[in-house]
Structure 1
Amino acid sequence: MTSLAVAGNHTGRKAADRAAKRARVLDILAAAGRDSVLLTSHTALTWYLDGSRVGISLAGDPIAAVLVTHDGDHLVTFNNEAGRLAAEEIPDGVTLHEVPWYGSLADVAAWFGPGVSPASEAELAVPLRLARRSLLPGELGRFEQLCRESAELLTDVLSMSTPQTTERQLAAALAERIVAAGADPLVLLANGDSRVDFRHPLPTGGALGRRAMAVVCARRDGMVANVTRWVRFDAGTPTELDAEARIAKVEADIFAATVPGAAIRDILAEIRVAYGRHGFGPNQWTLHHQGGPAGYAGRDPRATDAVTDTVALNQPFTWNPSAPGVKIEDTVLLGAGGIRPLSMDPRWPSVPVNGIHRPATLQL
């Protein structure tokens, strides 16, 4: 076991953001009567470390953990990962500890020593989640750029698609652009005309046909942009056009309910009513999750009746109302002026809905 102090390697990271996050966590510890907490999830680690890349496999656990104490921040990682983390990822003021590649990150006494009794992240899950609700200036700037770029690459790729393009070709082109932008393609979905009723359509070798949907969830600096877009190669049917207009009205009702202090479960209750109000039936909300707060996870958390969180200013959201053959999804921010879409490209066609420009179907 070795440890050393690490100089700052985070170009452009905001020291003020880091200080604010540390103060929030220390307040959580004081309220819980604990001396420390061990952060172990991708969501908590990337938030606390300002987007440091602490994973190797997209399907794997983090290769680091962070012990937050009143005296400082301590990151532990495996000996085969320490060099890169020290050179490229760890912010100022964080002490690095190493364990063998076969060792345990969770055995705090082995790598840190006695004298602390850390709370598990699960024990403080709710206050930690609330601590990352409101984006700070540095992370908001990074997130806005990611959301905008995600929308732009969807425009670029879908504008070049044809009815003969396959779903896998579409997904591959999106993946190439996401990786080139320095992001991770956490989710890539695509369906052609024959599969538009599937809410989570993993790509196949089938051709797009006359109409298609593409979904991108791209992660960079720890934050996840979620965007859905539709493309059509004909004028569309009256049924399709009507459903598209009505699902946008459902989303508008959700936006209107997303205000500071609102309970997430109360917004979900409004979602249930909105589906019926706009002709989709009272049970449509049960057929797919409706989204929720966003940021350092795809949804943080997904909205359910069990969630007791409330809404805060400068909090990002991705709501995704859907019905057979229609879905609308963008990452937005609740600011002082209300809902502001972040994942928008001015080149993409849009229509105003309750004063907010929303993406229409791209007609080629």
Structure 2
Amino acid sequence: MPPSPTADRPHKRARLAAILDARDAEAILLTAPENLAWFFDGARTSVPYGGAAVFSAIVRRDGSAVVTAPANEAARLAEEEVGGAEIRAVDWYADLAGAEPGVLHDTDAVEELRAARAALLPVERERYRALGRETARAMTAVLRDARPRTSERDLAGELARAVVAAGADPVTILVAGEGRTQVQHPLPTRTPLGRRAMAVVSARRHGLHVSLTRWVRFGGGAPDTERAIREVEADAFAATRPGRELRAILSDIAASYERHGLGSPSRPAWLAHHQGGPTGYLGRDPKAGPASTARVATGQAFAWNPWAPHVKIEDTVVVDDSGLEVLTVDPAWPTVGVRGVARPVELDLS
């Protein structure tokens, strides 16, 4: 039986209709995976992880949708992914992005669609909570079995296996042993973990991305800068309030690094690595930059990414008027309270 549209679909139709009204268009052509997954309630849009979408869709003002797909994908999409849409099968080599006159292309409405995706709807939020909880628990289970002799690649493989077993896509898997914890994006190698290691996972399910970072150690203590990076993150959380522009939040984060003794005016620490930003149907939606004028929406997901050599902290949260909710939580992981929010600390496996 083909999947049925969720209770969120009418609200998504209304958001698209508002874009069409503003652009004086009768329909919109969706081609980007993030837009297709959003509108079609978390449909799996690609075959390779992170690949291009294998279908497109024209959505009209009344919410009716026509999906164009290669003939070799059409039946699967109809049966497993795309609910409430007419399917138009074409040859596998045909252009999926051709639009009719008067149809707005999603590539010409990037910011409007990003804003439409931002505020999570009830079904999305429940799915997000479940994904965050399951990913965090899977990460705990894998990391508890790590040993100093475990290679970065072996640990990455176990993390990827756990993510796939949870019905999610392993979008990003990073692992750094003790000799590589100064690397911003440590793609795993054959190197053993040694006495201390970092693991980063981004997982996608129903189109939604969660990101989290965890550390383990085998005796010894955490770096002195671990507390400082938690304070930077707490400042990022405090700065992320509905209605604020991303560039203003990033400015607050930049000042926080220096205030907490990380970096200096001549070597600003925030420039050493991106700081993350909004998330949802993209891992970074968008990555926050000094020119980012997008504003925080109530009910929007964020994954801030404070980093300094040998320390990093990251979880996926949802921001509301009353505060924030951390999605990627496993009660079994050790935490410390930071301004009223439980934050992860290094798991000592000695």
Query: Of 225, 244, 256, which aligns to 1:262?
Result: 244
Identify the residue that residue 243 of structure 1 maps to in structure 2: 225
Deviation at 1:34, TM superposition (A): 1.5
Contact residue 16 and residue 61 of structure 2 kept, 8 A: no
Task: Establish whether residue 332 from structure 1 lines up as the match of residue 313 from structure 2.
Answer: no
Task: Establish whether residue 83 from structure 1 lines up as the match of residue 75 from structure 2.
Answer: yes
Query: Of 253, 262, 286, which aligns to 1:280?
Result: 262
Calculate the TM-score normalised by the size of structure 1. Answer: 0.93
Deviation at 1:117, TM superposition (A): 2.2
Deviation at 1:235, TM superposition (A): 2.2
Counterpart residue identity of residue 315, structure 2 = D
Counterpart residue identity of residue 76, structure 2 = R
Identify the residue that residue 306 of structure 1 maps to in structure 2: 291
Matches within 5 A, 1:15-26: 16-26=7-17
Identify the residue that residue 96 of structure 2 maps to in structure 1: 105
State the distance in 2 between where 1:303 and 1:59 align.
21
Contact residue 156 and residue 175 of structure 2 kept, 8 A: yes
Query: Of 306, 310, 319, which aligns to 1:321?
Result: 306
Identify the residue that residue 112 of structure 1 maps to in structure 2: none
Alpha carbon RMSD of aligned pairs, Å?
Answer: 1.2
Deviation at 1:306, TM superposition (A): 2.2
Contact residue 58 and residue 66 of structure 2 kept, 8 A: yes
Identify the residue that residue 336 of structure 2 maps to in structure 1: 351
Residue-by-residue CA offset, 1:71-109 (whole Å, 9 max, x unaligned) = 4211111000001001111112x1111110011111235
State the distance in 2 between where 1:42 and 1:185 align.
16
Task: Establish whether residue 37 from structure 1 lines up as the match of residue 28 from structure 2.
Answer: yes
Deviation at 1:227, TM superposition (A): 0.7
Identify the residue that residue 68 of structure 1 maps to in structure 2: 59
Identify the residue that residue 3 of structure 1 maps to in structure 2: none
Identify the residue that residue 113 of structure 1 maps to in structure 2: none
Task: Establish whether residue 154 from structure 1 lines up as the match of residue 139 from structure 2.
Answer: yes
How many correspondences in the alignment? 345
Contact residue 99 and residue 105 of structure 2 kept, 8 A: no
Task: Establish whether residue 54 from structure 1 lines up as the match of residue 45 from structure 2.
Answer: yes
Query: Of 126, 132, 135, which aligns to 2:111?
Result: 126
DSSP 3-state at the match of 2:17: helix
Counterpart residue identity of residue 358, structure 1 = R
Deviation at 1:59, TM superposition (A): 4.2
Contact residue 15 and residue 116 of structure 2 kept, 8 A: yes
State the distance in 1 between where 2:338 and 2:111 align.
34
Deviation at 1:350, TM superposition (A): 0.3
DSSP 3-state at the match of 2:292: coil
Counterpart residue identity of residue 49, structure 1 = F
State the distance in 2 between where 1:276 and 1:83 align.
56
Counterpart residue identity of residue 70, structure 2 = F
State the distance in 2 between where 1:60 and 1:279 align.
41
State the distance in 2 between where 1:188 and 1:173 align.
10
Deviation at 1:9, TM superposition (A): 2.0
DSSP 3-state at the match of 1:132: helix
DSSP 3-state at the match of 1:104: coil
DSSP 3-state at the match of 2:8: helix
State the distance in 2 between where 1:75 and 1:216 align.
32
Calculate the TM-score normalised by the size of structure 2. Answer: 0.96
Counterpart residue identity of residue 212, structure 1 = A
Contact residue 139 and residue 159 of structure 2 kept, 8 A: yes
Deviation at 1:327, TM superposition (A): 0.3
Query: Of 139, 142, 158, which aligns to 1:173?
Result: 158
DSSP 3-state at the match of 1:81: helix
Q: Which runs of 4+ in 1 moved over 6 A?
A: none
DSSP 3-state at the match of 2:293: coil
Residue-by-residue CA offset, 1:17-51 (whole Å, 9 max, x unaligned) = 01100110011110111222111111111011111
Contact residue 241 and residue 321 of structure 2 kept, 8 A: no
User: Which sections of structure 2, spanning at least 5 residues, go unmatched?
Assistant: none
Residue-by-residue CA offset, 1:99-158 (whole Å, 9 max, x unaligned) = 10011111235xxxxxx4212212111011001111100011111111111111110011
Residue-by-residue CA offset, 1:268-318 (whole Å, 9 max, x unaligned) = 010110000100024111111100001111010100122211011111100
Shift in alpha-carbon separation, 1:177–1:201, aligned structure 2, 3 A: same
Residue-by-residue CA offset, 1:175-198 (whole Å, 9 max, x unaligned) = 111111111111100010000100
State the distance in 1 between where 2:12 and 2:95 align.
26
Task: Establish whether residue 9 from structure 1 lines up as the match of residue 10 from structure 2.
Answer: no
State the distance in 1 between where 2:221 and 2:290 align.
37
State the distance in 2 between where 1:32 and 1:304 align.
27
Query: Of 229, 234, 244, which aligns to 1:252?
Result: 234
State the distance in 1 between where 2:263 and 2:112 align.
36
